Structure 1
Amino acid sequence: MSIIEAIIIAIVEGLTEFLPVSSTGHMVITSSLMGIESSSFTKVFEVAIQLGAILAVVVLYWKKFFLKKNWFEFYFKLAIGVIPALFFGFFFGDLIDSMLESPTTVAVSLLLGGIVLLFIDRFFKNPTVGSEEKITFLRSFIIGCWQVLAMIPGVSRSAASIIGGMQQKLTRNLAAEFSFFLAVPTMLAATAYSLFVKGWDNNGLEQKGYELILSSTENIYAFVVGNVVAFIVALLAIRFFIKYLQVYGFRLFGIYRIIAGIFLLFLIAQGYLK
């Protein structure tokens, strides 16, 4: 993977990680369109650059993470919310990895998720939870269960957890913000597993993710530059998303997903994507 390719994928990650459009799906498609080999390093890179996006959330909401009075309750909610993802990720990791190589799965998930987003504001009317302090531990866990759906490429972690939040009576802005908060432990766990636990096949030699990154200067540069770019772009994307939601809701994202899903199915049918 070249530095230019790493930058492009990082821009896609930063733009889409916190929008309800599926960052994983967009990175899979971007890699396919650029003809990047679906190597172990590529898979590790697409997970590891989430570190930059995680840092963007912590920086934007630093008071929540570091100056909150009832910090124990806040972190405990996040810990409870991440349990379902940890469970399914640990036991079904290989199945999830196999689905990451399927543009068809991404296309169908984008299409179906787009239809849901068109009507989400009608589905969940009259929210009653307007502040993070009112989110109970049970609600955190249920939102975390919704987040598990995002393990299917193209579903979108952000979309799944936001829908889960609105189903639990959170306002759409609070549902989006709690989705950001929940992303931190979820993505941190996924990145740590990819870097330090999972064994990756590197031409017949099993290596940890960090070993793949350190195996060449090119990989190190790609990892560092990718995270820096993902951090900067994610900062801008989060700010845009919250302001946009306050006025317009989710309809535009639903329309985008439907168009993107149909377009991808066309490319697949024509043999441009495999």
Structure 2
Amino acid sequence: MELMELFKAALIGIVQGITEWLPVSSTGHMILFNEFIKMNVSETFMSTFLVVIQFGSILAVLTIFFKKLNPFDGSKTKVQKNETIDLWIKVIIAVIPSGILGLLFDDTIDALFFNPTTVAIALIVYGVIMIMLENRNKKPSVNNFSQVTYKLAIGIGLFQCLALIPGTSRSGSTIIGAVLLGTSRYVATEFSFFLAVPTMLGASALKLVKTGFAFTSFEWLILATGSIVAYVVSILAIKFLLDYIKKHDFKVFGYYRIVLGILVLGYFFLIK
């Protein structure tokens, strides 16, 4: 029985590791996944588990971009170190809007919007927006991080607030926002990854504090299993997306979101 729960935790880690970084909504996948593979744990622990395993995904970003995000790297010049510090300041500034709204309204938003209907609608609507954005085919004005201003960072951060609505996708909202504001797909994607570090770290820490770290030894093992798997899969997913957008646009993710949204609606209203 315990081995089966660890296996389920690993499966959820795989789903988390893939869907957290692709702009397809990890929440939408988790809702469907939880319908078919239910863990034998309390509802409180499950909600905590789904947030805390994001820590594994955060470590993946820090692993892949360690040199780029490390202002104390001895191989960097003084100018490069200052640029790295400047990047972190922009990331922190961009996180503030969603951080404030999350602290104030997290429970309210979950109570009002964490349901299959909202998730499905968000999946479909943002899928359509993603396709329309690509059809616009507008040439980006920001092609590297040195061109990302504080004003632009705040703008992207405001778009990240949309991700508080389940089904929107944190990466999806920030990438769409950044591209709309003039960045290239690559800059938008990398900046979205960087924003995830303080955002997801804060969400995980907040969830752990709320639960008081009151887990059994086996529950800690479940958390560790899901996080480790999410870490490994996240590395693969991040590398895949960075390579993919060098040659392709985001339309395929838009179509995928629409199909997933229809499946969510169909399952919960026609089948279940």
Show the counterpart of 2:76. none
2:81 equivalent to 1:69: yes
- Rounded to whole Å, the distance in 1 between the matches of 2:112 and 2:184 is 32
- Rounded to whole Å, the distance in 1 between the matches of 2:173 and 2:48 is 23
- Rounded to whole Å, the distance in 2 between the matches of 1:29 and 1:267 is 9
- Rounded to whole Å, the distance in 1 between the matches of 2:191 and 2:32 is 28
The runs of 5 or more residues in structure 1 that have no matched partner are 199-206
- Rounded to whole Å, the distance in 2 between the matches of 1:104 and 1:219 is 31
Contact in 2 for aligned 1:28/1:100 (Cα 8 Å):
no
- Rounded to whole Å, the distance in 2 between the matches of 1:35 and 1:233 is 21
**Superimposed CA distance per residue, residues 127-178 of structure 1 (whole angstroms, 9 cap, x where no aligned partner):** 1111112101111111010001011111000010001111221101110011
Show the counterpart of 2:257. 257
Match of 2:12 among 5, 9, 12: 9
2:54 equivalent to 1:53: no
**Superimposed CA distance per residue, residues 185-233 of structure 1 (whole angstroms, 9 cap, x where no aligned partner):** 111111111112x3xxxxxxxx42x22xx2x222111100111000000
Alpha-carbon offset, residue 100 of structure 1: 6.4
Normalised TM-score (structure 1): 0.90
Structure 1 pair 99–20 and aligned structure 2 pair: CA distance change class (3 A): farther
Structure 1 pair 75–185 and aligned structure 2 pair: CA distance change class (3 A): same
The runs of 5 or more residues in structure 2 that have no matched partner are 74-79
The structure 1 segments of at least 4 consecutive aligned residues displaced by more than 4 Å after TM superposition are none
Normalised TM-score (structure 2): 0.90
Q: How many equivalent residue pairs? A: 259
- Rounded to whole Å, the distance in 2 between the matches of 1:59 and 1:133 is 22
Alpha-carbon offset, residue 64 of structure 1: 1.3
**Superimposed CA distance per residue, residues 226-263 of structure 1 (whole angstroms, 9 cap, x where no aligned partner):** 11000000000011111111112111111111111111
**2:81 match: secondary structure:** coil
Most deviating of 79-88 and 28-37 = 28-37
**Superimposed CA distance per residue, residues 88-120 of structure 1 (whole angstroms, 9 cap, x where no aligned partner):** 101101123325641221111111111111122
RMSD: 1.6
2:106 equivalent to 1:93: yes
- Rounded to whole Å, the distance in 1 between the matches of 2:10 and 2:32 is 15
Show the counterpart of 2:36. 33
Alpha-carbon offset, residue 34 of structure 1: 2.0
